[in-house]
Structure 1
Amino acid sequence: MQKKSMHELGRKSIDDFREATKTPIIIVLDNVRSMHNVGSVFRTADAFLLEAVYLCGFTPVPPHRDIHKTALGATETVAWKYYPTTGEAIEALKLSGYGIYAVEQATGSFLLNQQGFGPGDKLAVIFGNEVTGVDAGILPICDGCIEIPQLGMKHSLNISVAAGIVLWELVRERL
């Protein structure tokens, strides 16, 4: 076994990435405070060729060296928009035909491994604040909540870890 070379990995150029057909998933960050988490989410969005990242409320926006530190250039490839409130982002997404799903432990949520999304479904996935999660006022305007099954004593994950898990599960069946 041998590591693949950069050529073998088939990396896209920035222009190739921008022109490529995207996975119809948009990440919405609801008042995420950590620039490192924001950068990590951008990097994950790039890895899965997602359509965009929406930054809401007090979520920091690029350019910033602390975002760049974990994004490693993904803020240059992944489209992003800023909205003063998450509600405004959801309103725009609904008008564009996206299903809106918060990643949150909530009454009536469905487990990630039991989701039934199809390959062409346009999805917006909301990740919340590192301490308080997705704002409780946002949940009633979502189409549902996705919950990551957790078996241990701790029932929370860092947002960048949660994003990687959820997005892989949503993207893998589209491959």
Structure 2
Amino acid sequence: MGQQLSHNQTPFSKHTFPITLVCDGITYQPNIGSLFRICDAFGIQKIIFIGKDLALTPRKINRTSRSTHLHIPHTVVQTTDEAVAYLQENHYECIGLEITNNSKPLHQVTVNPKKPIALIAGSEVNGISNTILQTVQQTVHITMYGENSSMNVVNAVALALYEITRKMQQ
């Protein structure tokens, strides 16, 4: 039998991975807060939000972020074109988290630990925009076994970050 450990007793060491989460049109504030928390848990460098008039109201996202929005660098860009230009100028390996006609299962994702990665997650309703899908080097999906073909964006990002950070440590 084990005993639950407090935050100060965990064996985890702080580590930052060269990963940027790109949120393409994610607007639901509880999801935004949870994405900050997931990014903190996986040692992600930063978050880029794409969209106009995004309400990153600390009071509304703090409940799910548990104050991690105070530590994770983030920025908002207005347009997908602006985001694509930034990703290309900074030589990111762009990985789209989306079910497409040529996506591969998440466990088959390939990573180069020496190259910065942009994990791109799409909006809660429409997924990743076609403009961004055309620029990614890889598209991965989470294999589903139930009736539904999608899951909450936060859960999907958590699974993807787990797999990508695991592979970056190999």
TM-score (norm 1): 0.87
Compute the displacement of 1:147 (Å).
1.1
Q: How many residue pairs are counted as aligned between the two chains?
A: 168
Instruction: Find the partner of 1:28 among 12, 19, 22.
Output: 22
SS of residue matched to 2:124 = coil
The answer on whether the counterparts of 1:55 and 1:61 sit within 8 Å (CA) in structure 2 is no
Classify 1:61/1:93 alpha carbon distance in 2 versus 1 (closer, same or farther; 3 Å).
Answer: farther
Q: Which runs of 4+ in 1 moved over 6 A?
A: none
8 Å contact kept, 2:111–2:167: no
Gaps of 5+ in 1: 13-19
Q: In the alignment, what sits opposite 2:161?
A: 167
Task: Indicate conservation of the 8 Å contact 1:62/1:75, yes or no.
Answer: no
Q: What's 1:121 paired with?
A: 115
| CA displacement 1:90-143 (0-9 Å, x = unmatched) | 211221121112111112112111112133331101111111111123211222
Mapped partners of 1:61, 1:86: distance in 2? 18
RMSD: 1.9
Q: CA deviation at 1:61?
A: 4.8
Question: What is the alpha-carbon distance in structure 2 between the residues aligned to residue 157 and residue 5 of structure 1?
Answer: 30
TM-score, normalization by structure 2: 0.90
- Out of 100, 108, 116, the position equivalent to 1:106 is 100
Q: Indicate the SS of the match to 1:107.
A: coil
Percent identity between matched residues is 27
**Alpha-carbon distance in 1 for matches of 2:102, 2:7:** 45
